[in-house]
Amino acid sequence: MSTPVSDAPFSRRGRKKERTRREIYDAAMKLFTARGYAAVTIDEICEQADVGRSTFFLHFPAKASLMQEFNLQVAADFADRLAHGRRGSARDELTALIDDISARIAAQPEVMLGMVREFFAIPEAVVQAHQDGGGLEPLIESLVRRGQERGEFTVRVHPRLAAVSLLATAGSIMNGRVFKGREVPVAEVRRQMLALTFGGLGARVAGS
């Protein structure tokens, strides 16, 4: 079935917008990795991405808003894996997503820590993320809902509340509000995170 003519320009604009967002994000992450999050300015990101400041602010209201692009990319990549792979249990899929996010953060912990802390400290960034929608929250909500429909999770917890609670907990751990420094090993943080997630959903966690 052919695409209506009226929809084609919007699709092209949408693809161009997404491509520009990703190019800005990739340029920023390259600079953050080389010099650290705090040391990089928006002007330097614009120069690296070859865009003007107005273009940057069209996509990101603040430097910390780049966190939303990380959110969107992780969710899109994981959703693509689900679409093209064999589906497992909802618990296994949710665990795999948590491990995927953890691995990406562990690959550049100082950069991600700086971005997360500033993201939650700037209301404009948080508001814009909610307005944009998409990303990890609806993905996690869909995984939880699937688990409820399959009888893996209790239906007494709304899937959206479960998704928001999981992300809020992860954000609090990342920005240092829960554990100070490395007082708790990463493996133990993971175990407790899974125990809290699945215990709250009424699922049994192996080893707990």
Using one digit for the tens of pLDDT, what is the confidence trace for 158-167?
Answer: 999 999 999 8
- Domain ends where: 19, 38, 59? 59
Residue 139 pLDDT > 90, yes or no?
yes
- Residue 203 is predicted with a pLDDT of 64
**Dist. CA 87–CA 42, nearest whole Å:** 41
13-30 b/e (C-beta count within 10 Å ≥ 16 → b): eeeeeeebbeebbebbbe
Q: Clarify whether residues 92 and 4 are in a common domain.
A: no
Q: Clarify whether residues 39 and 129 are in a common domain.
A: no
Q: Which residue has the tokens 């133990």?
A: 188
Start-end of H helices in 36-108: 42-49, 53-59, 66-84, 90-107
**Dist. CA 115–CA 121, nearest whole Å:** 10
Number of domains in the chain: 2
Q: Which of 142, 181, 180 is nearest to 163 (CA)?
A: 142
Of residues 195 and 180, the one with the higher pLDDT is 195
Residue 4 pLDDT > 60, yes or no?
no
Domain span at residue 3 reads: 1-59
Residue 5 pLDDT > 50, yes or no?
no
2: left (phi over 0), alpha (psi -120 to 50) or beta: beta
Q: Clarify whether residues 26 and 115 are in a common domain.
A: no
5-14, 125-134, 137-146, 183-192 — which is least confidently predicted? 5-14
